[in-house]
Amino acid sequence: MTPGPRQASGETTSRVTVDRDRCCGAGNCVVTAPEVFDQDDTDGLVLLRDPTPGGALLDRVQRAADLCPAGAIRID
């Protein structure tokens, strides 16, 4: 994955954004990275729990973005 912007601390971080208009509620992201993604109880669409997940989670966040059938997850 492409590294995110450098922070003052020197640690790389990434910003995750989700597009609820594109989301089709398949739930792959919640299975793959439940620390970062959730589904809304009312409509089943994606909810972002953590927009700046730490390094240990990034592999799984990237996998969630790859698996998203609707292309609703972006990592910058």
Contact partners, residue 31, CB within 8 Å, separation at least 6 = none
Positive/negative CA dihedral, 65, 68, 69, 72:
negative
> Going residue by residue from 44 to 63, which x/- string records binding to other proteins, judged by CB under 8 A?
xx-----------------x
43 binds other proteins (CB under 8 A): yes
* Contacting residue, 24, 54, 59, 74, with other proteins by CB under 8 A: 24
**CA–CA separation, 49 vs 57, rounded Å?**
13
Binding residues for other proteins (CB under 8 A): 22, 24-27, 30-32, 39-45, 63, 66-67, 69-71
